[in-house]
Structure formats: C-alpha cells, structure tokens
C-alpha cells in the first residue's frame, strides 16, 4: 500500500532515493503532466517574441527551466512523436512516414508512458499524444502505454471538411478558419473537448493516492487554423510582420525545398493560384496565416489556463512535474517556406519547458490569467526566466522524466537495439536543470552535448507532389542534419528503400549555415572556399552520429 506524506516538494528523484534508503516511506512519486502542442515553434515571450499573448504558458515558463535550444529528430508528427515517446531515433524506429507501427516494424520498444505505468503510475491520454492510426497500432498504443483507452476528440474528424466560413457564406476547407464555435459540428472543437475530459480526470483523481501520468495533446496550432474567432482581436493585421527573409534563398539546393503540399490542398490557398513548387504566396495572405497561427496559440493558452487552475484547485500544485513541448516547429514564411517537412531550424527547433515544483520555482498553478489586449504591450525580459542554452533533443525527455521521478535510470541503447525493449538514444538533461536553477554550480553547457541531430526523407532531388511526406518505399534521399553551437550542416545522401540503408558516398547536396549571423538560414555557404575546412569537420561529425556527441562525463 502506498502511503502519503505531506511535505514541501523538493527534487523528487533524490528525495525518493533518500527516503527509501532510510525506510521512511514505501512510495512517494510526483505526478506528471505531459503537454504536447502540434506544430508549435518556440515563439513564446520566454523565447523573445513580445507579440505573443499566452499568459498561462508564460507563467509556466517563469517557474520552469526554459530550454532555448531543443530540437526534434524529424519535422513530421508521426515520426517525431514515435521518436520521443520511445526515446529512439527515426532510423531505429524505422518510421519516416505515417504508415508503420514500430512494435511490428522495428521492435517492441517500451514507451515513456508505458515505463511510468509499469512503475506504478496511472496513465491517461487526452487528445493527440501518439499520432493516431497505423503509426500507433490503430489503438494509440493501448493497452501498452495507457491504463485506460486514450481519448481522441470526436470533432477532429472534421479537419478535412468544409466547415470554414468562405466568400458569400459558402463553407470551405480552408487553412485560415476562425469560427463561431456554436456553428461548428457538435458545437465544439477538438482541443476544447480534450480539455474538458482532462478537467474531469483531474477532478476525479483528487481522492486517489496513486500517482498519475496525464498526457494532454493539443491539435493547435496545426492547420487548419480553426479556432474561436474572438482570438483574432489580439493580433491586429497591421501589427503582423513578415519574416525578415521571406523570399527563396539563391543558394538553396532543390532537394531541401518542401513545397508545402498540405497548404495547397486547402480551398483558400487553391484560390490564390500559387505556382508549384516555389510560389510565392501573396504577402497579404502570408500575414493572415501568421495572424491565425498566433491566434491559435492564444486559444490553446486559454485552455491550458483551465487545466492549471484545476490542478491547483484539486491540490496537485506541489507534486506535479510539468513538461510542455512542441512535436516540431513550423515555418512562417522564412525563406518563402511554410509548414514543416524540412531540416531548417524553424521546422526542427521546439519550445521545451520543464517545471519541477520546489526545484525550478514556486508551484506554477493558480487561476488562469486572462488574455487582454493590454497585455500585448507588456515587455518581458529574458532574465526573468531560468534558461538553459544546452543542446537538447526530444529523445532526451524520456530519460530525464524518469530521473526526475526517481525511476530506474535508462541505459544507452546498444548499436542494434531491435531486441532491447527498454533503453534510450537520448541523454538525461537533469544536469542542465540543476545548473540553471543553482547559481553555485559551475556552467556545464560547454561540456554538454556537442551536437544534436535531425533528418528528413525526400523522393527525389527536384520537388515533387509527395516531397513533403514521401512513403518510406518511395524515399530515395535522406537529409541528415547536425546542429552545433555555431553551425547547422546538412547532407542529402542516397537512401535504399529496399533495406532502409544509406550510402554516405553518394551525396546529392550540402547545406551550411552560420547560426550566429544567419539565424533564418538564408545563406548556404557550403560551397564557399573559405568554409571547406568547417564542412569537412562537420561532415565527419555527422557521420560519427549522436553517440560521439554525448557529454564526456556524467554529472551528479
């Protein structure tokens, strides 16, 4: 039987070990709230975007460690989520598209929620955590990962339906889709449904002693930008700015281009008659998409405020670790690009907030902070947050949460881990949390990971209609990208779909960007004579892979 002790929350992993060693407690575990936003790039105020109005996420950030350089392993929902939920990289899960289930195609790998479930947690999922469908066995990985069947909102079935207001009152299947919720099918929206069910869970669990792992997955700001129309008021169109470089870079290899086919199938984009594959999209419509993306974020923030308030109201504030993350980013017109489907930083970099009550700050919850037009003018300084500039990857979340909760440490996976059910291809970032929250600890960023890795498949050198989401069987090129402190380097190499292997001797194109002076990755200098030594060194490092980039020492 698990006893309950009321005390000030501290670093849970160390607490659990100490109490267990001294026979003072039979079971003490923090709850876990795991929040995933779909297609969410790091544009909160803690990342320097003063225009975004998201007071509840900002409050979370103030009581978290904000990771400023966190990266997805592939900028596509199914592969990314499978990767970070198993802590294995796409080349290990054998998932680069959305047509396979890793338990059948790669190995019976233990997942993040499954590990907590096997260690005494009650695990529940609301909304989009695993990518639904074949990717998660058509059961969203139940019963392996979840104590009860996951909840998927019924109104998500209308994402490809004509439910958006169009000209002359005609309904269309649009990208830009602010709506009157009362006129929508079932008079609600997917993220509203998921929030309501999560609130019910929190209320009923207040009388339980078993710790919970609650996963809450929001569909926004993924397209269509379907949100309650009142959120547009926070972002006057005249305040919306285009990306600094919103034209196609002259040195961009054609294989690196993603032609944003997901936008082109929408009625409002079709009506623009944008040429394939490069466009561009008219600037007025670009501003409307940016406006709608921002409004979608504010909409989700208001729902999160309800969740945070419910956790506080039901007594979970002091013992719930919260992680908020995006599954990958989304281009908002940088380099004339939109959507994800690439190795650009706008597609691979994500927000990552980790809150551990008693370690990263005061309990983060409380009444939801209202969004007001006046709050848009509030300036937030970077030094108001506890930040870590260490290079981290989404595969690091699994071992980090396990350590924070005091669960057994995950071992690094062997070279061939197909028969290894539990291991990690990431590395716990708990030392970075300790470093960010304790001024007496010497900085470790420069002895941390020396690089992080992402990848993306392509069917051909020239953009095609399936270049954004090629099936594995149609993939002929794999773009491998390495991000170091100062550089992003990518090689597009030959891929053999018959046996899922690559030929490093056949390189179709290279990209090199100096991040310090070219943050939007507009100038590819891979062919410049002055950078050939850098290209050579990064090429070697890319081929050595993620194992050689791990920290040299373990920090305790």
Give the catalytic positions in this structure: 77, 131
Query: Which distant-in-sequence residues (6+ apart) come within 8 Å of 172 by Cβ?
Result: 162, 164, 165, 166, 267, 268
Residue 446, helix vs strand vs coil = helix
Integer Cα distance of 469 and 203 in angstroms:
40
Contact 321, 33 (CB under 8 A): yes
If residue 430 lies in a helix (H) or strand (E), which one and from where to where? helix 430-437
Note whether 236 and 344 are within 8 A (CB).
Answer: no
Helix residue ranges, H only, 235-282: 261-264, 267-270
What does the alpha-carbon distance between residue 510 and residue 450 come to, in Å, rounded to a whole number? 20
Residue 317 is classified by DSSP as G
User: What is the Cα–Cα distance from 329 to 340, expressed in whole angstroms?
Assistant: 6
Residue 256 tokens, joined: 């690196």
User: How does DSSP assign 143-156, residue by residue?
Assistant: TTS-SSPPB--GGG
Residue with tokens 């054998």: 94
User: DSSP assignment of 156-206, as one string?
Assistant: GGGTTSS-EE-GGG-EE--SEEEE-GGGSGGGS-HHHHHHHHHHHHHHHGG
CA distance 356 to 16: 14
478 three-state secondary structure: strand
CA distance 126 to 214: 8
Structure tokens at 54: 């998201």
Backbone dihedral angles phi then psi of residue 93, each to the nearest 5 degrees? -75, -15
Neighbours of 94 (CB within 10 A): 18
Let me know: does 71 contact 396? Beta carbons within 8 Å: no
What angle (nearest 5°) sits at the alpha carbon of residue 146, between those of residues 142 and 152? 70
Q: What is the CA radius of gyration of the chain?
A: 23
Q: What is the DSSP letter of 110?
A: P
Whether the CB-CB separation of 221 and 297 falls below 8 Å is answered with yes
DSSP class of residue 137?
T
């Amino acid at each position: 039987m698990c006893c309950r002790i009321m005390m000030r929350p501290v670093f849970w992993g160390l607490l659990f070990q100490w109490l267990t060693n001294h026979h003072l407690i039979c079971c003490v575990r923090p709850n876990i709230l795991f929040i995933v936003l779909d297609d969410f790039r790091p544009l909160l105020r803690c990342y320097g975007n003063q225009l975004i109005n998201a007071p509840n996420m900002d409050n979370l950030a103030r009581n978290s460690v904000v990771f400023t350089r966190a990266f997805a392993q592939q900028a596509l929902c199914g592969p990314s989520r499978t990767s970070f939920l198993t802590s294995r990289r796409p080349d290990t899960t054998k998932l680069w598209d959305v047509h396979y289930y890793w338990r059948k195609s790669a190995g019976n790998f233990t997942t993040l929620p499954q590990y907590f479930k096997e260690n005494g947690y009650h695990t529940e999922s609301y909304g989009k955590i695993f990518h639904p469908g074949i990717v998660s066995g058509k059961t969203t990985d139940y019963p392996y990962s979840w104590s009860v069947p996951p909840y998927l909102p019924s109104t998500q079935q209308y994402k490809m339906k004509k439910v958006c207001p169009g000209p002359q009152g005609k309904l269309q299947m649009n990208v830009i889709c602010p709506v009157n919720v009362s006129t929508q099918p079932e008079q609600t929206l997917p993220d509203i449904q998921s929030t309501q069910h999560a609130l019910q869970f929190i209320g009923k669990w207040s009388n339980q002693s078993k710790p919970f792992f609650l996963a809450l997955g929001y569909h926004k700001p993924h397209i269509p930008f379907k949100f309650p129309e009142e959120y547009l008021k926070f972002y006057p169109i005249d305040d919306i700015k285009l990306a600094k470089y919103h034209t196609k870079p002259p040195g961009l290899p054609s294989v690196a281009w993603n032609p944003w086919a997901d936008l082109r199938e929408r009625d409002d984009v079709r009506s623009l008659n944008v040429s394939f594959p490069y466009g561009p999209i008219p600037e007025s419509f670009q501003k409307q998409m940016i406006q709608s993306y921002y409004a979608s974020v504010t909409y989700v923030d208001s729902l999160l405020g309800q969740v945070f308030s419910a956790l506080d109201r039901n007594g979970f504030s002091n013992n719930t670790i919260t992680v908020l993350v995006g599954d990958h980013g989304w281009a908002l017109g940088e380099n004339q690009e939109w959507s994800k489907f690439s190795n650009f930083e706008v597609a691979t970099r994500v927000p990552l907030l980790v809150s551990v009550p008693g370690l990263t700050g005061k309990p983060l919850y409380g009444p939801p902070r209202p969004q007001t037009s006046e709050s848009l003018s509030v300036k937030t300084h970077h030094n108001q947050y506890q930040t870590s500039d260490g290079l981290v990857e989404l595969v690091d979340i699994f071992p980090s949460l396990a350590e924070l909760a005091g669960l057994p440490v995950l071992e690094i996976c062997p070279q061939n881990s197909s028969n290894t059910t539990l291991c990690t291809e990431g590395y716990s970032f708990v030392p970075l949390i300790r470093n960010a929250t304790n001024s007496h600890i010497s900085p470790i960023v420069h002895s941390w990971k020396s690089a992080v890795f992402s990848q993306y498949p392509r069917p051909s050198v020239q953009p095609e209609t399936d270049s954004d989401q090629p099936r594995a069987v149609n993939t002929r090129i794999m773009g491998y990208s390495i991000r170091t402190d100062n550089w992003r380097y990518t090689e597009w190499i030959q891929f053999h779909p018959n046996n899922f292997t690559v030929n490093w001797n056949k390189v179709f194109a290279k990209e090199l960007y100096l991040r310090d002076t070219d943050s939007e990755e507009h100038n590819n200098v891979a062919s410049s004579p002055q950078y050939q030594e850098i290209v050579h060194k990064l090429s070697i490092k890319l081929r050595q892979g993620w194992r050689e980039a791990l920290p040299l020492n373990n920090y305790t």
